[in-house]
Structure 1
Amino acid sequence: MHHRTEDGPVVEPVVVERAEQPYVAFRGRVRTDGFAALADRLPELFGWLAARGTEPLGGPFFRYNLIAPDGEFEVEAGVPVALAPKPEGDVRAGVLPAGKYATVTHFGHPDQLFAVASALYAWGRAQGLPWDMTEAADGEHWVCRLETYRTDPRVQPDPAKWETELAFRLLG
């Protein structure tokens, strides 16, 4: 099922069931132009895990907890693990919840992810799928909205060739 926003990308979402997933992360409040500050800390997180003998179980992700109307986000920059070491300093440990997720894989530059996320959101609404999200005065509070980077930039330095998966948790 293709879905295209008025002038946006074509997305072919799939609804999948996911098991819970432990992770470690840094949390921050950022604006779109401030994401690099959080993303740039991911190597530090990988190093922190390596120092504790813990292997990542996949690519790093951004978990959007709050999307505020003023363009600010509360986001976690995280790495999935089998078992999280004890948190230290500003490293947090958490668990991505099990459940049904609407997912879509984007091949291309991360600059296009906002349009892909908007198309996934519109697709879910068009399908009558209820997002696991609460709208409040300070914005959208998501139980689990993920952007997972499947491409290692050390292996493929060209962002136009990156693979990114978006996964938004559904109610029920």
Structure 2
Amino acid sequence: MQPTIETRAAQPYVSIRTQASLAEWGKVNALIGEVYGWVAQRGVEPAGALFYRYHSVAGDVIDVEVGVPVPSLVDGDGRVLGGSKPAGQYAVLMHNGHPDRIRETFAALDAWAEATGTEFDVTDGVWAGRFESYLSDPAVTPDPAEWRTEVAYRVRD
């Protein structure tokens, strides 16, 4: 499957930002319930799929946000941040299957970018927009081998 280029509007969200290695990834996944609980306590309806926003990788430590899109900008409280996915063009590729294999999709997107001369919006190792959105609801699709995850990288203007 080939990536597509999509123009996207800015999308408000709330998130918790953390840093972890892959060996510590359980602490990242543990933030999902906290983010959903925060929006539920405030009566805010999610406006899209749960996502991870990757900012950078230093050694084996990944700087990441666990977030949920919301209909409009929301003030955070220090732990939970209000933010917005940046508008712009994104290279988008669907990952079908277990999240443990998502690096294959990252590699395919990187190879496509190199082959086509597409530049991702990265400055000094920091991504302007690198998102992994979980489109499958585990309550509806319990088998991770059947999950669909959208990988979207912002393309440099």
Q: Do the structures match in fold with TM over 0.5?
A: yes
8 Å contact from structure 2 (residues 73, 84) kept in 1: no
Percent identity between matched residues is 41
Q: Which residue of 2 aligns with 1:91?
A: 80
Provide the aligned C-alpha RMSD in A.
Answer: 1.1
How far apart in 1 are the matches of 2:18 and 2:121? 21
Ranges in structure 1 where 5+ consecutive residues have no aligned partner? 1-10
Q: Which residue of 2 aligns with 1:30?
A: 20
Q: Which residue of 2 aligns with 1:8?
A: none
How far apart in 2 are the matches of 1:86 and 1:169? 24
Q: Which residue of 2 aligns with 1:7?
A: none
- 2:47 is aligned, of 48, 52, 57, to 57
For 1:25, the aligned partner's letter is: S
Q: TM-score, normalised by structure 1?
A: 0.87
Q: Which residue of 2 aligns with 1:165?
A: 150
Q: Which residue of 2 aligns with 1:67?
A: 57
**1:115 corresponds to 2:100:** no
Q: Which residue of 2 aligns with 1:19?
A: 9
Q: How many residues align?
A: 157
Map Cα deviations across residues 84-111 of structure 1 (whole Å, 9 max, x no partner): 3321141011111000000001110001
Ranges in structure 2 where 5+ consecutive residues have no aligned partner? none
For 1:77, the aligned partner's letter is: V
How far apart in 1 are the matches of 2:32 and 2:22? 17
Question: What SS does the corresponding residue of 1:43 show, helix, strand or coil?
Answer: helix
8 Å contact from structure 1 (residues 54, 85) kept in 2: no
8 Å contact from structure 1 (residues 21, 95) kept in 2: yes
Superposition deviation, residue 143 in structure 1: 0.4
**1:130 corresponds to 2:119:** yes
Q: TM-score, normalised by structure 2?
A: 0.95
